[in-house]
Amino acid sequence: MGGRIAKRLLDAGYQVCGYNRTIEKAAWLEELGLLRCLSPAEVAERSDVVLSMVTNTAALEAVMEGEGGLLDGLQPGQVHVDMSTVSPEASRRMAERVAQRGASMLDAPVSGSVVTLERGSLSIMVGGDAEAFERVEPVLRAIGPVVTHVGGNGQAVLMKIAINLSLAVQMLAFSEGVLIAEKGGIERAKAVEVLLNSVVASPMVKYRGPFVISMPDEAWFDVDMMQKDLLLALEAARGFDVPMPTTAAANEMLTAARGMGMARRDFATVFHALARMAGLDEP
């Protein structure tokens, strides 16, 4: 996702400096004009606006505070936009560290997949200082057309967690619907077709529902990543005294999928885990 975001910025005419821990993964972007840096600190030193997107809280802490991290290169007045889905508490803590450098940090996770990004329909939620948001809003709108400032630091990642828990729950419910129809004698492909043309077909179900017929070779968002977000949701919910029964059930199904060796598959593979439990062979 981060690489494709960089491409959208390049396509929009921005000069983009970039760093990736695995150099080879950024080679295709260099061919499009990306200026490769040797560390996150160098990216900060060469940029007006700094964007980061990493897998989890530990990765963000490493990018920020490790040797040659962003904090070493951030200058007063700069804005750091972190687009990762991490712990809201950790995001606020990092924002405080950035403020100590005289810079501002925004959390700005995205809602959507690679497909929605490439179609130009990605949405972005932003938490942090309103003035800093106004400064970087044009950059964010080059990435996705819907950009919403939702509150202070940490509020955007909380909102993203709220969205992602629903994705997992929807996929599990969709899977249950397909399987009860299939075990009742309706062809799987026909059940999928009917459900995708019914009132339950959210945008996510429309593009992920077909995965129960044929999984993509490369996960759009794998089981491990989705479970990371559900665990963040369950942790936050405990703090807010919000019961999360369907999120807890979806989390258990992701654990089952991991136990069946499906951790690196797209999280839609909860269907296949459930199918095995229902006594159906995985396609």
Tokens linked to 244: 């999360």
**Residue 282, pLDDT score:** 63
Domains and CATH numbers, the chain: 2-153 (3.40.50.720), 158-277 (1.10.1040.10)
Averaged pLDDT in 10-residue chunks for the chain of 283 residues = 86 90 82 90 93 92 91 94 94 95 95 75 93 96 94 96 96 97 96 96 92 91 95 95 97 97 96 94 61
Six-digit token string for 99: 């403020």
**108 Cβ neighbours under 8 A, 6+ residues apart:** 81, 82, 83, 124, 125, 126, 127, 140, 156
pTM greater than 0.85 (yes/no): yes
Q: pLDDT tens digits for 28-48?
A: 888 888 899 999 999 999 999
pLDDT tens readout for residues 186-204: 999 999 999 999 999 998 8
pLDDT recorded at residue 25: 80
